[in-house]
Amino acid sequence: MKQANDFLIDMLDFDAPETADDTLWRACRPTGISCASNGDAFLIIPFQAQKKGLEVEANSEIARKEYKLRVRAYGDSILRLSIAFDESGPDDDSPMLEMHDSLVVETLSAQTTDSGWEIRDSHDRLRMRVNLAESPIKVWSDLQPPPDETLDIELFPDGKTSVPLMAYDQFFPQKHDSMAMAFVERAGVPHRALFSFHARPNEKFTGTGERFARLDLAGRTFILENTDGLGVNSRRAYKNIPFYLTSRPYGLFIHSSAHIRLSLADTSTRAAQGLVEESGLDLFVIGGGAVEQVMYNYRRLTGFPQDVPVWSYGTWMSRMTYFSEEEVRTVARKLREGDFPCDVLHLDTGWFAKDWVCEWEFSRERFPDPEMFIKDMQDDGYRITLWQMPNLGQGNKLFDMAVEKGYVAANPGREGKTGSDFSIQMIGGRIDFSNPEAVEWYQSLLERLLKMGVAAIKTDFGEDLHFDAEYQMPAAKLHNLYALLYQRAAFEITKKTTGAGLIWARASWAGSQRYPLHWGGDSACTWDGLAGSLQGGLHLGLSGFAFWSHDVPGFHGVPNFMNSWPADDLYVRWTQFGVFTSHFRYHGTSPREPYEYPAIADIVRQWWKLRYALIPYLVEQGQYVINTGLPMLQALIFHHEDDPTCWHIDDQYYFGDAFLVAPITNSNGVRDVYLPAGKWVDFWTGKRLDGSRWLKQIKMPLEHMPIYVKYGAQVPIYPHPVQCTDEIDLAQAVILTFDDSYRGMSNSILGTIVKL
């Protein structure tokens, strides 16, 4: 009923019945070093078996095993440590990797020192120090035996930043809280591998994917195993990314799609450690000297986000779900008549013959002429996007054929439900994206829709897998990778067919940032749903992603899932947050159209107009962030990493490089705002403010949200009211400068468009 507070149990699961035949092998002091002609260095590391039990004690009756640790340097800021405990090796063809041409392999050389070895690159930068020396002692007691030798290595990924493995994390020799490196055999076969890096007492940790948690993750342990998040206020996560960033600063990319237990100064407060459920380790230790540069280097490994079309920055309108062409046309007409600028109408689960039964075909009864319908919407400035999923029930007319051809991996012997599938169907199988023929078949289904004029596909689900089905890749390896393969297939056929790559995705793994864009899943229509969404977005931006969105004003009702509508003030506050997000979509289990909320409709209308006035800024910032390490929503540490306060702020952010945004997450309209170092301008009043201080108990009317702008910022604005982005000529954008000449929003060019 409670955790054991014991390393062997909490990290290695040695209390589980299935571990009866498990043997722990612990890394010892290296016995040799060599360098290859291709530039790599190799350490010979012996591993010693440990006796079974809940204490760490070497089993001297079993001979040590030696393994090679490969050390490779990419450029001046990345070190790769690879070790295999079986016959496998590092996978350079992994879909997680998309290495930039600038990542040249450095030539490494080894030198002997008084205390061990040093590895330097061709520019004489120190990249690794191996300590072989015995620690000095003064013998006065033999009450405890001396410690076993261990792996004691200090890494310098950028030649400056020290990142040591955690060598001696123990109380007495038999009681450890982490190990620098180890692996576990099950019945004589390598089963899982362990690593540990030293964590400083005040070191902060972020990243790990879309983590619905406070910004500093120190003191937390996570299982990196994609699952249906079922909201945004738990440890569950749709988007786990095997990457963390620390305040040292350095980043660690665990190159694996296996399930990973990651403990960040938690199981041991002096260790960041991970247990990877496969037979080796492939770790990229990433330096750069600054948060943004570390993130840039991570993208150089796993790929940069691609640009998104201008229309995607407009308003997206959706609900679960529109059921007919007539209904969608009514929504389109009411939005235009109400002067609500909008670019996208999304059809969720209801465009098929049967709700949720995804057969990739329009119901001809409710959408009798989909081609004409889509064209009419385009003529009125609307793009149509479509929901679908990779899960097929046995009632799906494509199921039997897809199983027979191997496109769908059937779940043998039973059907199953999946978390947020609210239909009555039972899932019989999932598309096998590890099968190239299945990918081609799936893309052909999407291609037909895209050629009709559909603008983008919502790649929903992708987190869960039937582990007893047969795929062309082991299920344990495919599970987390599934989201990446799924989204790549949809993105690539969309870009090929329409010329503009774009999807709307929920799950993710390392590399998914290449295929924008992603949204935050099924948040509750509550204040904590809003706050949790923002936390997830900030962590995702610290995991390599540039673009991100969320369901405005939350997805599901509380307490009645379908029929509790969002409160008016929540609707407005979430709208304000959405306007200052890279992408802006309304969606949920009840109607979300602003005219359904008459008491606040005009406030919402004005915020939508502000959004469209900011389209030139969004385009400018979007094109900038995809070539850097930055996201559109930037945690304050991207700009103020030396300010300890900023490592704990998860309810405000930079929007691009100009705006500081502090959403209201309560019904009283009051919050504290932290102004980081620098000079700032109040967006609403034009008042100049000095930073490095808190603004306490800021009271905002419902019409306003705290927004501050960097003094001197020059923001491109579209100076004319529009109904959609088709009416925007970016060449007509004007520059609004936030300096002494700025006298507040209503007295600026924005005030001619927006009445707030």
**pLDDT value, residue 410:** 87
Query: Any idea where the domains of the chain sit in the sequence?
Result: 310-621, 633-752
Mean pLDDT along residues 265-269: 97
Local structure of 315: helix, strand or coil: strand
**pLDDT value, residue 144:** 86
How confident is residue 211, by pLDDT bands cut at 50, 70 and 90? Answer: very high
**pLDDT value, residue 373:** 99
Please say if the pLDDT value at position 423 is more than 90. Answer: no
**484-512: per-residue pLDDT in tens?**
999 999 999 999 999 999 999 999 999 99
**pLDDT value, residue 88:** 86
Radius of gyration from C-alpha coordinates of the chain:
27
| Range 142-148, long-range pairs (CB < 8 A, 24+ positions) | 144/172, 144/173, 145/173, 146/173, 147/173, 148/26, 148/28, 148/48, 148/56, 148/58, 148/173
Phi first, then psi, for residue 476 (nearest 5°) are: -65, -30
Where does 633-752 sit in CATH, by number? 2.60.40.1180
> CA 366, CA 126: separation in Å to the nearest integer?
67
The per-residue pLDDT of the chain, averaged, comes to 96
Angle between helices 436-452 and 475-498 (to 10 degrees): 30
Q: Which of 158, 522, 641, 651 is catalytic?
A: 522
Q: Catalytic annotation on 21?
A: no
Mean pLDDT along residues 181-202: 97
**653-663: per-residue pLDDT in tens?**
999 999 999 99
> CA 490, CA 498: separation in Å to the nearest integer?
12
Q: Catalytic annotation on 460?
A: yes
**pLDDT value, residue 1:** 44
pTM for the predicted model, two decimal places: 0.97
Check if the beta carbon of residue 127 is closer than 8 Å to that of residue 155. Answer: yes
Q: Catalytic annotation on 642?
A: no
Please say if the pLDDT value at position 626 is more than 50. Answer: yes
Mean pLDDT along residues 739-746: 98
**pLDDT value, residue 413:** 61
Q: Which of 13-27, 323-337, 594-608, 721-735 has the weakest average pLDDT?
A: 13-27
Mean pLDDT along residues 260-285: 98
Strands 670-675 and 693-699, sheet pairing: antiparallel
Please say if the pLDDT value at position 168 is more than 70. Answer: yes
Q: Which of 463, 569, 651, 682 is catalytic?
A: 463
Local structure of 170: helix, strand or coil: strand
Q: Which of 460, 593, 650, 651 is catalytic?
A: 460
Where does 310-621 sit in CATH, by number? 3.20.20.80
| Range 360-363, long-range pairs (CB < 8 A, 24+ positions) | 360/388, 360/398, 360/445, 360/446, 360/448, 360/449
**pLDDT value, residue 414:** 55
**pLDDT value, residue 188:** 93
